[in-house]
Amino acid sequence: MMSFAGTGQNQIKEMDEFARKGRGRQRRERAIRIFFFCIALASITTLGLIVVFLFMEGLPIFAKVSVNDFIFGRYWYPTDEPPDFGIFALIMASLAVTTVASVISIPLGVLTALYLAEVASARIRELVKPIVELLAALPSVVIGFFGMVVVAPFLQEVFDLPTGLNLFNASLMLAFMSIPTICSISEDAIFSVPTELKEASLALGATHLETIVRVIVPASISGIATAIILGMSRAIGETMVVLMVAGGATLIPSSLFDPVRPMPASIAAEMAEAPFRGDHYYALFATGIVLFIFTLLFNVVADHIAHKYRQVGAATL
């Protein structure tokens, strides 16, 4: 398009034209850059504002209740006179459902990932992996519904319980929700262990199982750990399932089959009836802060592990 074949006057004209076009291109590049910057800024600012808002609406409760009483208080009677704002039972409920859910989902998720990445034939892997990932797309309300209508009556009958809506049911449903996350991310990590390492192990006369246990899992442990923590953080923050199937009783669980009231369920159930900017309202936001700190911690830990034990590829020179 650009020819410098002309001479004299002609050539100078072409050079001018070239420079003009160049300036136009630069302007356009700058405009695009600014556009993307604004978009990114808008989304990040919005998220930042939500955090600011969360703290603004949550912190006032601590003028009435000390942080210590709020977190370790045994009684949550927000509508009594005088009210009690102690969320210890809610925190314990959240931790309990997350722990029990993890006990179920971690072995299932990681072993499924190992099966898919190492044992299954390529064809099965191609088929099953997308299905597992699709499971992550199941709306939580559907899972909650399943827990309510199918699992709860079953538990009630089999274990002869007063209610099937309890800690165990919620944990089971949360486990279903975190398995796809854990499985999918672990599988990526396991699958990306370099073939060279696997071959080195086999060439030394290690069996397939020894290779998996001694080489492949250690080499992908950071990815697996990240997967586990992201799965757990999904479980602790999940609202709809625990709202539907955890039972909703504000008590510190002493058995697997106690009904419980995890933090997200409490916030979702009570927010609509809490008077705007009343103490109850502030206390719910403060519960949100505690929940936020938990999930933030989970993510920081996941990030830290991912960096510290970064996937070590084939040796680099």
Partner 1 sequence: MKTTDLDFYYGDFPALEGVSLDFYINRVTALIGPSGCGKSTLLRCLNRMNDLIPYSRAEGKVLLDGQDIYDPNVDVVGLRRRIGMVFQKPNPFPKTVFENVAFGLRVNGISKKTYLANRVEESLNLAALWDEVSDRLDDSALGLSGGQQQRLCIARALAVEPEVLLMDEPCSALDPIATQKIEELIHQLKSSYTIIIVTHNMQQAARVSDITGFFYLGKLIEVDDTDTIFTRPKLQQTEDYITGRFG
Contact residues toward partner 1 (CB under 8 A) are: 121-122, 194, 196-197, 199-207, 210, 214-215, 218-219, 312, 314-315, 317
Shorter beta-carbon distance to partner 1: residue 127 or 300? 127
What's the min distance (Å) between Cβ of 116 and partner 1? 16
Nearest partner of 109 among 235, 219, 193, judged by Cα: 235
Beta bridge partners of 76: 85
What's the min distance (Å) between Cβ of 26 and partner 1? 43
DSSP 212: I
Quote the CA–CA distance of 16 and 37 in Å, as a whole number.
Answer: 32
What's the min distance (Å) between Cβ of 114 and partner 1? 17
Rounded alpha-carbon distances, angstroms, from residue 274 to 11, 30, 33, 57, 80 = 77, 49, 45, 13, 12
Shorter beta-carbon distance to partner 1: residue 182 or 219? 219
Rounded alpha-carbon distances, angstroms, from residue 300 to 75, 278, 288 = 31, 33, 18
Beta bridge partners of 77: 84
Beta strands in the chain (DSSP E): 76-77, 84-85
Shorter beta-carbon distance to partner 1: residue 46 or 195? 195
What's the min distance (Å) between Cβ of 201 and partner 1? 7
Shorter beta-carbon distance to partner 1: residue 38 or 308? 308
Shorter beta-carbon distance to partner 1: residue 63 or 315? 315
What's the min distance (Å) between Cβ of 206 and partner 1? 4
